[in-house]
Amino acid sequence: MTTNVADEKVLISVNGLKKKFDGMENHALNGVSTEIRQGEVVFVVGPSGSGKSTFLRCLNLLEEPTDGTILFEGVDITDKKNDINLHRRKIGMVFQQFNLFPHMTVMRNLTIAPMKLLGLSKEEAEKNASELLERVGLANRADAYPNQLSGGQKQRIAIVRALCMKPDVMLFDEPTSALDPEMVGEVLNVMRELAEDNMTMVVVTHEMAFAKEVATRILFMADGQIVEENPPEEFFNNPKSDRLKSFLSKII
Amino acid sequence: MSDWLKEFANRFYLNFIKDERWHYITRGLRTTALITVFALILGVALGFIVAIIRSAHDKTGKLKIANFICRVYLTVIRGTPVVVQLLIIYYGIFASVAIEKMIVAVIAFGVNSGAYVAEIVRSGIMSIDKGQLEAGRSLGFSYAQTMIYIIIPQAFKNVLPALGNELIVLLKETSVSGYIAMEDLTKGGDIIRSRTFDAMMPLLAVAAIYLTVVILLEFLVGRLERRLRNSDH
């Protein structure tokens, strides 16, 4: 699989990324460089405080890096001259806390961005949204408000909301961490299907079994750096660094 | 008992019916209502603009000069009595131009109310989880679009009770319009008093009318609140 991926074009290229939060002594990110190619499913794992969420949030500039560059489809999005809003349309994001818009129905949550930003008509936007809702098994909840949904349903809707913009890459920031255990499966199923459909994904998660099953590559982060990155087989069976060995020994 | 009733009827006739004195009340109510409605519109518009500038500055550190102007506005307006502001605007700022008193009053009360609305709305914006802003921005909305489509509608719902309160305060504050010789509801009652030398009857009538209008406003704001709460279950 990796040999195939190596031929695909580079979607995101991160170079020397650093991030220091105001008032913090250490860098949250301390020189992260990697490439994400079309169709890759990259999982980012590591102990808490390792900078994995910060890394993910830098990829669409929800966090502004202190130093380094991020090329998205060849354009340096850290350059202020480039309109980040245009690039964010192609970078879907799913949050730990779902962040659905509570004052809108599910359908409105799904159609507002495509209508306002991509200029789709209401009919087109709703048709797309309905098809995607059907795929995640929530076609009957189009008229519900977010507060009427379970956590798992909310997260599936949040994934669909990002998909409605037809993004080139999807970022997942601990998408199952806020869910009751019995709802984790339904969200992972949707993500698994996305991966099978060749969506490029970057996933920050603690779900190791899922990472092992779905990832094409796993990044292990610690202290704001990528310590090791490998395909899952190699990653779990043959860890090289002591940091990763001790991390794996604790979680399995 | 019947003597008391006769006396009451006499006073009622004297204060409201004779010489069509009730016109003072109805015309006054009309003036009060007009000032309140237009000052409300001006105040809400100003308040939202100031609140958005202030919260944008708090979030991003941009708009330094605009934020400074907003803070001066809030401090000065909230730090001085509305009557003094009204008089300064009438006798000071618009002294040399012939201008409708109604416009002066609307500007004075609108600018005054805007300062309070601004802080109410800002507290509403701050009450919205930052994940909402992030979700909006991650879809590609600009800061302004995220505000308009996502943050403000939720903030508005949260601060509606406080805004209703401000509306009630505004309505009652317009009772000082008499200072620039406007015949609002309060002044109307006072004119009747000066004609009939009966203080209680016209002033109680005026008080009752304010009370009735406030109760009506409370009812309307309550209904709006319930309608907007549709999405909470």
Q: Residue B88: pLDDT above 70?
A: yes
Which residues does A contribute to its contact with B (CB < 8 Å)? 60, 62, 85-86, 88-89, 91-93, 95, 97, 99-104, 112-113, 116-117, 145-148, 161-162, 165
pLDDT surpassing 90 at residue A216:
yes
Which pLDDT score, from 0 to 100, does residue B185 have? 94
Given a cut of 90, is residue B27 above it in pLDDT? yes
Contacts of A161 (CB under 8 A, 6+ apart): A100, A109, A110, A113, B139
> Which residue in B137, B138, B156 has the most chain A C-beta atoms within 10 A of its own C-beta, making it the best mutation to test that interface?
B138
Q: How confident is the model over A15-28, as a mean pLDDT? A: 91
B170 and A CB contact within 8 Å:
no
Q: What is the mean predicted confidence (pLDDT) over B89-114?
A: 91
Q: Give pLDDT, residue A1.
A: 46
The question of ipTM being above 0.95 is answered as no
Q: So what's the pLDDT on residue B12? A: 86
**What gap in Å lies between CA B145 and CA B127, rounded to an integer?**
18
At A2, the pLDDT band (50, 70, 90 cuts) reads very low
Q: In which band, very low, low, confident or very high, does the pLDDT at B228 lie, cut at 50, 70 and 90?
A: confident
Q: Is the pLDDT of residue A25 over 50?
A: yes
| Chain B residue with the nearest C-alpha to that of A143 | B231
> CA separation (Å) from A68 to A14, A29, A58, A79, B202?
8, 10, 11, 10, 75
Residue B186 sits at φ, ψ, to 5 deg, of -60, -45
Instruction: Using CB atoms, pick whichever of B129, B139, B154 lies closest to residue A113.
Output: B139
Distance CA B222, CA B215 (A): 11
The mean-pLDDT minimum among A50-54, A84-88, B9-13, B136-140 falls in B9-13
Checking if the pLDDT of B184 tops 70, the result is yes
Residue A4 pLDDT class (50, 70, 90 cuts) = low
Per-residue pLDDT at A3 exceeds 60: no
The closest CB to that of B131, out of A99, A146, A165, belongs to A99
What residues of chain B lie within 8 A of the CB of A101, using their CB? 132, 135-136, 150, 154
Q: Which of A88, A116, A146 sits opposite B137 (nearest CB)?
A: A88
Spatial contact of A144 and B232, defined as CB atoms under 8 Å apart: no
- CA–CA gap between residue B190 and residue A193 (Å, rounded): 77
Verify whether the Cβ–Cβ distance A104 to B230 is below 8 Å: no
Q: How many CB pairs under 8 A join A and B?
A: 67
Question: With bands split at pLDDT 50, 70 and 90, how would you rate the model's confidence at A5?
Answer: low
- The model's pLDDT over A109-151, given as tens digits with 9 standing for 90+, comes to 999 999 999 999 999 999 999 999 999 999 999 999 999 999 9
Residue B219 banded pLDDT, cuts 50, 70, 90: very high
- Measured between CB atoms, which of A88, A145, A148 is closest to B139? A88
How far the first Cα of chain B sits from its last, in Å, is 56
A68 touches A14 (CB < 8 A): yes
- Preferred mutation among A60, A64, A103, A161 to probe B, highest tally of B CBs within 10 A: A103
Nearest-angstrom CA–CA distance, B45 and B110: 9
CA-based nearest residue in chain A for residue B158: A103
Report phi then psi at A178, rounded to 5. Answer: -95, 10
Q: What percentage of chain B exceeds 70 in pLDDT?
A: 98
**Which pair of structure tokens corresponds to residue A176?**
């199952």
**Average pLDDT, integer, range B43-64:** 92
Rounded to an integer, the average pLDDT of A81-107 is 96
**Angle of helix B130-139 versus helix A151-163 axis, rounded to 10:** 30
The single residue listed with the structure tokens 């008992």 is B1
Q: Is the Cβ–Cβ distance between A90 and A73 less than 8 Å? A: yes
Nearest CB neighbour to B145, from listed A89, A99, A116: A116
What's the gap in Å between the CA of A89 and the closest CA on chain B? 5
Q: Is B143 on the interface with A (CB under 8 A)?
A: no
Average pLDDT, chain B: 92
Which residues of chain B does A62 touch, with a Cβ-Cβ cutoff of 8 Å? 134, 137-138
Considering only CB atoms, which chain A residues are within 8 Å of B138?
A: 60, 62, 88, 91-93, 162
Mean pLDDT of B50-61: 90
Say what the pTM is: 0.86
Among A45-49, A149-153, B49-53, B59-63, whose mean pLDDT is lowest?
Answer: B59-63
Q: Which of A118-122, B64-68, B170-174, B194-198 has the lowest mean pLDDT?
A: B194-198
Contacts of B108 (CB under 8 A, 6+ apart): B39, B82, B85, B86, B89, B90
Q: What is the pLDDT of residue A252?
A: 65
In this prediction, residues A206-216 reach a mean pLDDT of 94
Tell me how close the Cα of B128 comes to any Cα of chain A, in angstroms: 11
Nearest to A102 among B138, B149, B231 (CB): B231
| Subunit contact B231:A147, Cβ cutoff 8 A | yes
Question: Does residue B214 register a pLDDT over 80?
Answer: yes
Helix H, strand E, coil C: the string for chain A is CHHHHHHCCEEEEEEEEEECCCCCCCCCEEEEEEEEECCCEEEEECCCCCCHHHHHHHHCCCCCCCEEEEEECCEECCCCCCCHHHHHCCEEEECCCCCCCCCCCHHHHHHHHHHHHHCCCHHHHHHHHHHHHHHCCCHHHCCCCHHHCCHHHHHHHHHHHHHCCCCCEEEEECCCCCCCHHHHHHHHHHHHHHHHCCCEEEEECCCHHHHHHHCCEEEEEECCEEEEEECHHHHHHCCCCHHHHHHHHHHC
Q: B interface mutation test: which of A91, A99, A117 has the most B CBs within 10 A?
A: A99
Q: Chain A contact for B19, CB < 8 A? A: no
- For residue B60, give the chain A residue with the closest CA: A64
CB atoms within 10 A of CB B40: 21
